[in-house]
A and B are shown apart, each in its own frame.
Chain A
């Protein structure tokens, strides 16, 4: 038998075995279509509600953001707060004369005229009165905004204590230091005994 005849006869013989009930099916189809339309409507309603809700909630914020965008000038990046070695505004040579009222000054033989030079490269040089045996150079300082930090006397009278931190202010020819955190009393005495006068 040819395949064409076999196929036609096979289909013809088999077809009556498939007997769907079209009445029930029509009801199912209409019910499905109804559900489909309802789902589409509900979905559309939900989407519209979400969009409107989102607009109501986020709208004012978006408008504010847009308004701010127009009004604000471009903001410069904040300057890094890392310490700057040396500083042009503090650079210079200053003198201060320490009296003998303070026992710490007397005990450390610090009475007399002191000269400190802050170089712009962060190097600190100290010229002490004659009785004070420890005049030196080669110490360092750092300035960050109003903060000042130095390791002056670290290897001698300060016995390797941590650097001291001060708040500094320069006004005209006067330079003053206020102790923030200072583990070395001798250094605190020297810096806080100002004001230092620029020379």
Chain B
């Protein structure tokens, strides 16, 4: 869908999205809204475990869904639109971490985000010490329970590289959390 062909259409009072054709708009918008309500909370949680900030996680997830909305007519035809929006969000999250790390270096201090109550703080802090790709691999594998093929696709690397990220992350986390680590992943 090209940007210059987009027109804004009302989907319900107080909210509007666009579609490429009048007849298609309503069904497209409803489909998008349905997809959004199902995927958004899960994506925010995933991004949160990577960036460790509720506010940033929501901001990143909304950016990703905005991109999805702009490309909805094309992406909705894909087999896994959720993988597409995840890939966008994870990349935005990794970029955000790098930016945050740079800021910490420049300002000579680390920003400790306020974590919500009932969060496993030790786990969050341990994950916070991993590089962006290892963090993402851990969250996608253990929290989202995604197969390595899909994780590699989201991270934009080969499957073997995805496994390397995960194994390195496991070893580091085991050391930080004082847990056992075996060669094979359970």
Contact = CB atoms under 8 A, between A and B. Distances in A.
Contacts of B179: 1-3, 6
A47 to B, nearest CB: 12
Contacts of A29: 36, 62, 65-66, 69
Interface stretch (B42-50, B93-101, B104-112): B42-50
Interface string B24-59: 000000000100110011001100110000100110
B119 A30 contact: no
A70 interface: no
Contact of A18 (B36, B57, B120, B173): B57
B45 to A, nearest CB: 5
A4 B142 CA distance: 8
B133 interface: no
B45 A15 contact: yes
Interface residues of A, number: 34
B40 A22 contact: yes
A36 B66 contact: yes
A6 B123 contact: yes
Nearest to A11: B143
Given A26-B36, A34-B16, A40-B3, A14 B70 contact: no
A37 B44 contact: no
Contacts of A67: none
B20 interface: no
B61 A20 contact: yes
B120 A22 contact: no
Contact of B69 (A18, A19, A30): A30
Interface in B54-100: 54, 57-58, 61-63, 65-66, 69-70
Interface in A1-55: 1-8, 10-11, 13-20, 22-23, 25-30, 32-34, 36-37, 40-41, 44
Interface in B171-186: 173-174, 177, 179-182, 185-186
A25 B63 CA distance: 11
B17 interface: yes
B18 A37 contact: yes
Contacts of A16: 118
A20 B41 contact: yes
Contacts of B37: 22-23, 26
B118 A13 contact: yes
A7 B180 CA distance: 12
A26 B33 contact: yes
A33 to B, nearest CB: 5
B61 A10 contact: no
Contacts of A4: 142, 170, 185-186
A138 to B, nearest CB: 78
Contact of B18 (A10, A13, A14, A33): A33
A5 B120 CA distance: 14
Top 6 A-B pairs ranked by shortest CB distance? A10-B123, A4-B186, A11-B143, A10-B120, A3-B174, A7-B142
Interface of A: 1-8, 10-11, 13-20, 22-23, 25-30, 32-34, 36-37, 40-41, 44
